[in-house]
Amino acid sequence: MTDGDSPFAGYDAVVYDLDGTLVELAVDWDAVADSVLDAYAERALIPPTEELWGLLGAADGYGIRAEVEEAIAVHERAGASESARLPLGDRLAAAFDSTQGDSPAADSHPPAGVCSLNCEEACRIAAATHDLDDALVDEAIVGRDTVGSHKPDPESLFAAIDRLGADPADALFVGDSPRDAVAAERGGVDFAWVADLLAE
């Protein structure tokens, strides 16, 4: 693959979503939502919604952000350990495989990071589990709890890009969900769908 053939040509940094993009976390999200509802119920609080991320968003107002974060994170950490690496994760790992020496693929791939709705610790567990450590810049692994803001707010995406030493206008965000696409749009960052990259 030459620079001209690379979907990353012209970019100074690439930021990936984690779950559904590089790996598939082994998480039952309905069970996670139940755990968070339990955190509300244990404190005799009436939850404003049954939707997981809505419950997280409301947690500050109810004074239970730390409890809700941990209720979610315990599932994510376990799920990261049992996760499966997806085809795009395979490609990324191969591009930076240190046993291959100077890989042309690595030469055509800009520095890479992660911007995830999952907690940072789960992102790091998944990266270590699937040998993505060499492919990702360590300080550019950003979870929902890294900077106090999460997708679709673009601040966490900006943080990952900044830690890769790039400007938003010179970066590409790769994801699999509308939330990812909205974060990129709000931040003025180019976006690529996982399916489109795999089709190339």
CATH number of the domain where residue 94 is located: 3.40.50.1000
Ramachandran area for residue 58 (φ above 0: left; ψ -120 to 50: alpha; else beta): alpha
Residue 146 counted as domain residue: yes
Question: How many CB atoms are located within 10 Å of the residue 183 CB?
Answer: 27
Q: Are residues 160 and 194 in the same domain?
A: yes
Structure tokens at 117: 């709705």
In this structure, the strands spanning 84-85 and 23-24 are antiparallel
Residues 90 and 74 in one domain: no
Q: Is 2 part of a structural domain of the chain? A: no
Q: How does pLDDT run along the chain (200 residues), one tens digit per residue?
A: 334 568 898 999 999 999 999 999 999 999 999 999 999 999 999 999 999 999 999 999 999 999 999 999 999 999 999 999 999 999 999 988 854 555 545 557 899 999 999 999 999 999 999 999 999 999 999 999 999 888 999 999 999 999 999 999 999 999 999 999 999 999 999 999 999 999 87
Q: Let me know whether 77 and 127 are in one domain.
A: no
Query: Long-range CB contacts (< 8 A, 24+ apart) of 1-7?
Result: 1/104, 1/105, 1/108, 2/104, 2/108, 3/107, 3/108, 5/108, 6/108, 6/109, 7/192, 7/197, 7/200
Same-domain pairing of 48 and 90 = no
Residues 137 and 65 placed together within one structural domain of the fold: no
Same domain, 111 and 176: yes
110 and 139 within one domain: yes
C-alpha 195 chain-centroid distance: 16
In a domain, 64, yes or no: yes
Q: How far apart are CA 124 and CA 84, in angstroms?
A: 14
Residues 128 and 76 in one domain: no
* Residue 34 one-letter amino acid: D
Backbone angles phi, psi at 154, to 5 degrees: -80, 0
State residue 2's pLDDT score: 36
15 neighbors 172 (Cβ within 8 angstroms): yes
Give the per-residue pLDDT at 98: 57
Q: Which domain holds residue 195?
A: 13-23+84-199
Does residue 107 share a domain with residue 41? no
With respect to residue 6, please indicate whether it lies within any of the assigned structural domains.
no
What is the C-alpha to C-alpha distance for residues 13 and 172, in angstroms, rounded to an integer?
6
Q: What's the pTM?
A: 0.91
The residue with tokens 């755990």 is 35
Peptide bond into 168 cis (omega under 30): no
Taking the C-alpha atoms of residue 153 and residue 108, their distance in angstroms, rounded to an integer, is 29
Query: Do 130 and 39 lie in a common domain?
Result: no
Is residue 1 a part of any domain in this protein? no
Asked if residues 38 and 30 have their Cβ atoms less than 8 Å apart, the reply is no
Predicted confidence at residue 104, as pLDDT, reads 47
Number of independent structural domains in the chain: 2
| Amino acid (one-letter) located at 181 | A
CA distance 135 to 106: 9
Partner residues linked to 24 by β-bridges: 84
Task: Flag whether 61 is in a domain.
Answer: yes
Instruction: Please indicate, yes or no, whether residues 142 and 179 belong to a single structural domain of this protein.
Output: yes
